[in-house]
Amino acid sequence: MGGDAFKMFINEAPLLIDFLLNSAKTSTLLDETKISREFLNHYLNMGRCIILLDALDEVDKSKRNDLHESVIAYFKTQNPNNKICITSRDRGFIPESNIEEFSIQPLDRRQIELYVDKIIALKKFDLVSIVEKKREIEMMSEN
């Protein structure tokens, strides 16, 4: 779930469970017809979920804190075995004292090439797309 999904959550103000349900239906490879509120609640209550919330910093700054508080408050009431990963640039995240925070360090050209070569070695991806992505990554590393 990325910045655009967060914007929808803020603008439409659904319950967080409905936001997660909609995101699971539109952003995963799960069969949409098999995903229900009960399905999601079952796995959340069991502590069997990994929730990835990407691009918190892309939400309007005036609404970011409310979103952050909603997400944290919701998951504090769920089974603590669920894992939640929120990504953001430094300017977009307000860490709480009891939340682990990690910073990803930039990759150099050699590390990027090694990463892309390992993905190619898996032979599960369209090589043309990977070469295009490799070019994009190289251009990003030069900036």
- Whether the CB-CB separation of 137 and 116 falls below 8 Å is answered with yes
- CB-CB neighbours of 27 under 10 Å: 13
How far is Cα 53 from Cα 35, in angstroms, rounded to an integer? 19
Quick: pLDDT tens for 95-138: 666 777 788 888 899 998 898 888 878 876 666 776 777 777 77
First to last CA, the chain: 26
- Using one digit for the tens of pLDDT, what is the confidence trace for 63-99? 777 777 777 777 777 778 888 888 877 766 666 667 7
Of residues 1 and 129, which shows the higher confidence score?
129
pLDDT digits (tens, 9 = 90+) for 39-68: 888 988 898 888 888 887 787 878 777 777
Q: Which of 6-20, 24-38, 118-132 has the lowest mean pLDDT?
A: 6-20
- Please report the pLDDT score of residue 138 as a whole number: 73
Evaluate if residue 4 carries a pLDDT over 60.
no
